[in-house]
Amino acid sequence: MAAASTPGRGRFVVLEGIDGAGTTTQVARLAERLRATTRHVRMTREPSDGPVGTLIRQVLTGRIVSPGGCAPGWATMALLFAADRMDHVEAEIEPLLQSGGVVVSDRYDASSLAYQSVSSGRDGSGAVEWIRSINRHALRPDLTIVLDLPADVAAVRREGRGEAAQLYEQNEVQRALAAFYRDLAKHMPNDRVEIVDGMGTMDEVHERVFAAYARAFP
């Protein structure tokens, strides 16, 4: 379990979950609440808004494909995400932490462990170890909060958006991802991971998220 932030240094908090779990909404809600008592709070996301992250978003939405019309393979995607992550930390996350601020990120390396290992088609363990190895220099979060939501409920939410499905949004993939996230602490044994029930209203889920934050930083 990760220790609390070093005195004088900021806090790095990540929200994770399957597509439709509500991570984007809850990142915004948590950041808004923290701004009432914390001077510097920044919301961010992965893929980031940097150059590599922008490329990844185009892949996820089908605007960029490999020769033959296919999306890049899981290993290529894992490497792209790892490169984006290092740039993200250096350009955006680390500078704010050094100034004592709080960074709240919509996804981080747990998403790589989950999405690329599930999409690898392997038994999972070998892919997880390799993905962990290419992210070994990535800054560790002080807290990772997982919004646990049944895959069928998340699917209804995604359908309600009226948007085209992205690369990993097939229902069978999302079910496997939901199971992976419930066991995330097993895959990230040295990090502090909190599983939060993602069912209920936005306010109810927010209170659970904030309670997890308060437990980590009393």
pTM greater than 0.85: yes
11-216 CATH, one of 3.40.50.300, 3.40.50.720, 3.40.640.10, 3.50.50.60: 3.40.50.300
Q: How far apart are CA 71 and CA 59, in angstroms?
A: 7
51-101: per-residue pLDDT in tens? Answer: 999 999 999 888 887 777 788 889 999 999 999 999 999 999 999 999 999
Q: Among the residues of 48-199, which ranges form H helices?
A: 51-60, 74-88, 94-98, 109-119, 125-134, 151-161, 171-182, 184-187
150-180: per-residue pLDDT in tens? Answer: 999 998 888 877 665 656 657 788 899 999 9
End-to-end Cα separation, the chain, in angstroms: 16
Return the residue matching tokens 């209203």. Answer: 201
Other beta carbons less than 10 A from residue 62's beta carbon: 13
